[in-house]
Amino acid sequence: MLAAMLLAGCSDDTPEPQSVKAAKETAPSAFELLNPELSASAKEIALDYVEQIGTDLNQVAIEIEKFQSSIVTLINQTSSENLSRSRQAWRETHSAYELTTLHRYFTTQLLEEQNSLALMQLQYRINHWPIIPGYIDYVDGYPDSGIVYDINVNLDTDSLREQHGSFDVSEVTLGFHVIEFLLWGFGTDSDTRPAADYRAREELTPEEIESGYTLEQLSNNRRRLFLSVVTDTLVDDFRALQSLWFAEAPGIRRRIESTSGTELIVILADSMSEMLTEELLLRSLYPMLNGDFVESIQSPYSRTTQNAVSSQLSGLERLLLELQTENGTTLGLVFSTISDEFSEFFYQNFDSSKSCLVLLYSNMESDSAVPTNERETEIVECINLLTNMIDYNDRLKFDLTN
């Protein structure tokens, strides 16, 4: 499906972007007739959520520029200390970006199809995982593998964009996780990439001269350039995503204002369910349950998958509990008024699932010797808790529309 969307996005026949169409007026639902105040609260919260999305994207922009500066410092003043600072800046920037995960699921339901596709293409360039590390740089047993050692590949933005996913969706050359691998490396230790990998080579050895190498073709110098270019491209892609959002935000507000409270509640509930299903169940926990412990981990090189998942769930929690109307109504209160089961069980499963997932990913990334049956039990427990949350969302929609 992703390949089809990418091909569609590259077609010369793709129409020019259109403004968001206003939703047609519909007759009030039974919920709106019985609960006009709650319906109005849902609309007010949705409009406030649009403002929150803009605020969160601005925060990511701040973090990503700090990260870019840390890479410049690392390249200009290569040291273990500056490598550590770049790693920490990556963690902070990636967590800030993952906090916006729910925003994208909400936004795609309110955008025109072409803009929704553009958003998904940018997401693919910014944060796709899993990646194939050996496609990027050396890994255990393959000391000369990857684009870093392939002198036939030009290390500029246009070339990296052309290489990105050109043969396989996981053969990526752009985004957070390519940078993650370049900063941490991949091996048996948690800290496998030495700062020496980024020290500039200013002289050729006699053997390199005899082989016809130039300074620009040496692996250290190519790695330095690769890291710089992919970081700058990440910043450009995020700015494009940010620009797309702010260009479409006025139309999204108009769509919300002309949409019934009932439909908005369904959209918000669907956004949460889709995020939990796509990001956690389908991409991670189900493959993990089937024994795929490599491609089911989002950030295996930095060992920070638990941070990313915590940020994703925090975005959901903030939407439910922190955005308030003028009279103090939250979306969680709206949902709880509609469904007694939601108020009684959703948050219980939410808290348990957050603890379960953080523990699971922490164990996965720190102790590969955990017995298979014990690990399977942990995975099943997390799946059950997430499935319960999605089920309570679905029951909420049933209670709302019946």
**For the chain, what percent of residues have pLDDT higher than 70?**
89
Q: Check whether 10 has a pLDDT greater than 80.
A: no
The pLDDT, as a whole number, for residue 399 is: 84
Q: Check whether 121 has a pLDDT greater than 90.
A: yes
Is residue 20 a part of any domain in this protein?
Answer: no
Confidence bin at 233 (pLDDT 50/70/90): very high
The domain total for the chain is 1
Most confident of 8-17, 32-41, 360-369: 32-41
The pLDDT, as a whole number, for residue 1 is: 40
**62-76, 98-112, 224-238, 287-301: which has the minimum mean pLDDT?**
287-301
Is residue 27 a part of any domain in this protein?
Answer: no
Nearest to 63 by CA among 229, 177, 185, 234: 234
Is residue 4 a part of any domain in this protein?
Answer: no
Confidence bin at 291 (pLDDT 50/70/90): confident
Q: Measure the CA–CA gap between 246 and 235, rounded to whole angstroms.
A: 16
Rg (C-alpha) for the chain, rounded Å, is 23
The pLDDT, as a whole number, for residue 14 is: 40
**11-15, 64-68, 112-116, 385-389: which has the minimum mean pLDDT?**
11-15
Is residue 5 a part of any domain in this protein?
Answer: no
Contact indicator for 224, 198 with CB cutoff of 8 Å: yes
**48-57, 278-287, 298-307, 363-372: which has the minimum mean pLDDT?**
363-372
Q: Check whether 375 has a pLDDT greater than 90.
A: no
* Long-range own/partner contacts, residues 144-147 (CB < 8 A, 24 or more apart): 144/219, 147/173, 147/226
User: What is the average pLDDT across 310-321?
Assistant: 96
Q: Check whether 263 has a pLDDT greater than 70.
A: yes
User: What is the average pLDDT across 66-94?
Assistant: 98
Q: Check whether 7 has a pLDDT greater than 50.
A: no
Contact indicator for 148, 136 with CB cutoff of 8 Å: yes
Q: Check whether 19 has a pLDDT greater than 60.
A: no
Is residue 50 a part of any domain in this protein?
Answer: yes
Is residue 1 a part of any domain in this protein?
Answer: no
Give the tens place of pLDDT for each residue, 344-370. 889 999 999 999 999 999 888 776 556
Which residues, in sequence order, are bridge partners of residue 330? 324
CATH no. for residue 64?
1.20.1420.20
**55-59, 187-191, 312-316, 357-361: which has the minimum mean pLDDT?**
187-191
Confidence bin at 92 (pLDDT 50/70/90): very high
130-160 in b/e burial notation, b at 16+ Cβ within 10 A? bbebbbbbbbeeeeebbbbbeeebebeeeeb
Mean pLDDT of the chain: 90
**For the chain, what percent of residues have pLDDT higher than 90?**
77
Q: Measure the CA–CA gap between 364 and 298, rounded to whole angstroms.
A: 11
User: What is the average pLDDT across 292-321?
Assistant: 94
Is residue 185 a part of any domain in this protein?
Answer: yes
Q: Check whether 137 has a pLDDT greater than 70.
A: yes
3-state DSSP of the chain:
CHHHHHHHHHCCCCCCCCCCCCCCCCCCCHHHHHCHHHHHHHHHHHHHHHHHHHHHHHHHHHHHHHHHHHHHHHHHCCCHHHHHHHHHHHHHHHHHHHCCHHHHHHHHCCCCHHHHHHHHHHHHHHHCCCCCHHHCCCECCECCCCCCCCCCCCCCHHHHHHHCCCCCCCCCCCCHHHHHHHHHCCCCCCCCCCHHHHCCCCCCCHHHHHHCCCHHHCHHHHHHHHHHHHHHHHHHHHHHHHHHHHHHHHHHHHHHHCCCHHHHHHHHHHHHHHHHHHHHHHHHHHHHHCCCCCCCCCCCCCCCHHHHHHHHHHHHHHHHHCCECCCCCEHHHHHHHHCHHHHHHHHHHHHHHHHHHHHHHHHHHHCCCCCHHHHHHHHHHHHHHHHHHHHHHHHHHHHHHC
The pLDDT, as a whole number, for residue 25 is: 45
Answer positive or negative: Cα dihedral of 176, 180, 181, 182: positive
The pLDDT, as a whole number, for residue 371 is: 63
The pLDDT, as a whole number, for residue 242 is: 98
HSE (CB half, 13 Å, CA atoms) of 108? 18
User: What is the average pLDDT across 200-206?
Assistant: 96
Q: Check whether 8 has a pLDDT greater than 50.
A: no
Is residue 109 a part of any domain in this protein?
Answer: yes
User: What is the average pLDDT across 313-330?
Assistant: 96
Domain coverage including residue 353: 36-401
Confidence bin at 343 (pLDDT 50/70/90): confident
Q: Check whether 384 has a pLDDT greater than 90.
A: yes
Q: Check whether 335 has a pLDDT greater than 50.
A: yes
Give the tens place of pLDDT for each residue, 143-197. 999 999 999 999 999 999 999 998 899 999 999 999 999 999 986 555 689 999 9
The residue assigned the tokens 């050109």 is 166
